[in-house]
Chain A
Amino acid sequence: EVQLVESGGGLVQPGRSLRLSCAASGFTFDDYAMHWVRQAPGKGLEWVSGISWNSGSIGYADSVKGRFTISRDNAKNSLYLQMNSLRAEDTALYYCAKDSTGAAAGSFDYWGQGTLVTVSS
């Protein structure tokens, strides 16, 4: 059974940093691209960042470019999101999602339950 378990969320002050993690199991992690998608309270889905199977291709939404960094450790079956210079508008539930391809060119066939990030003073 595919499982994606996010962690690392919490309350953080504006301008500070936070690192999210996603532990994957139930599939061959290093065969697939992975993504972070967020959802602000009461709002829709926003793709944040994605990374190909070998970290060779990485992309970011314009809203986080230059502030967030995605990475993965295939030996640990883990995905990460380093979030710096956090803003109030980054407040959201952050989901880890598995791509259906290795190249980050497909739909998202499995999702975690999310970790909540709240940016507030």
Chain B
Amino acid sequence: EIVLTQSPATLSLSPGERATLSCRASQSVSSYLAWFQQIPGQPPRLLIYDASKRATGVPARFSGSGSGTDFSLTISSLEPEDFAFYYCQQRSIWPLTFGGGSKVEIK
């Protein structure tokens, strides 16, 4: 099973600041990695797929990068609605796995 390790667990920032989240895989997943946003009380929302492609309707302030084992999600300038949980997920090798999540909170 591929283990995805996300860091930091919690990121405390102010609106307008830049957020960078990390996801590290225990073995290569090529570019088969996605990022999801989850606001408490809501289902997850697909933000990024294939490591760097934005899903339909996702604002340009969200960007993804990386391949192999190291990936990152960057929010260029935090909006109030961006304070949420973020999860990475790989579809390279069975079973599909998610990272443990990172919380972006208001400082």
Are A and B subunits of one complex? no
- Report which A residues bind B (CB closer than 8 A): none
- Report which B residues bind A (CB closer than 8 A): none
